[in-house]
Amino acid sequence: MLKQFEGLSTPLVADACVRLGVGVRVAPVGVAAVTAGARVAGRVLPVRHYGSVDVFLEVYGAARDGDVLVIDNGGRTDEACIGDLAVLEARAAGVAGIVVWGLHRDTPELVEIGLPVFSYGALPLGPLRLDGREPEALVSARVGPHLVTAGDVVFADADGVLFVPADRAEEVLETAAGIARTERAQAERIAAGDTLRGQTRFDEYLELRAARPGYSFRQHLRTVGGAIEE
């Protein structure tokens, strides 16, 4: 999945989802890479955290090479739920990266380990609680308002984190690649002096909008083959 994601971005994947009518599930703003430039893509390996590392050690037993551990810590900002040892063990289990709806710690060690980790940020304090475990602990994870499972894939880069149903991922990536080609061509034309207004026949759009109230720029772009909005 990461190889297919190479050369693409989460904005392109998001635009492809919109074009295909695939529901876009985006992690809350602020979930970002520990190391600048980190990228990851793969099957979701969901887990819910209750205050102890044992749930991570358990879920690693079900990991497949290339999975991305998605940790539901309720978006808490009063504790760091994952650190260097858990990340090292994740790498040993074949996990390709980690997305945390919460915080991490041991930042220098995580940078040295090199496994892509995305979280709200760092906090030195680990968990002081031990909550009761839900039956869904290893079945699904919440990330903001969204529920994700092993039936989803995750894409993460400098623009954020989003989730796509696994059975639509190939189609989404193919569409994203097509949008990328269109956008690159448009960018090259702008650099050569052909403005975006000219490329999208913007004056023509304004005339059509005046004659046909409700005619949207998005409709117009589909007619002329632009990709700026999706």
Binding positions = 83-86, 105-106
Q: How far apart are the C-alpha atoms of 17 and 33, rounded to whole Å?
A: 23
How close are the terminal C-alpha atoms of the chain, in Å? 22
Give me 162's structure tokens: 């989003």
- Do β-strands 160-165 and 25-26 pair in parallel, antiparallel, or remain unpaired? antiparallel
What are the C-alpha distances in Å from 156 to residues 37, 182, 186, 224?
Answer: 10, 22, 25, 31
Give me 120's structure tokens: 């709200």
Give me 32's structure tokens: 């970002």
CA angle at 114 for the pair 36 and 75, rounded to the nearest 5°: 65
Q: Containing H/E element for 175?
A: helix 169-191
Binding-site residues for Mg(2+), please?
106
Binding-site residues for substrate, please?
83-86, 105
Q: Residue-wise over 143-181: b if at least 16 C-beta within 10 A, else e?
A: bbebbbbbebbbbbbeebbbbbbeebbeebbebbeebbe
**Are 202 and 226 contacting, i.e. CB atoms less than 8 angstroms apart?**
no
Phi first, then psi, for residue 68 (nearest 5°) are -115, 115
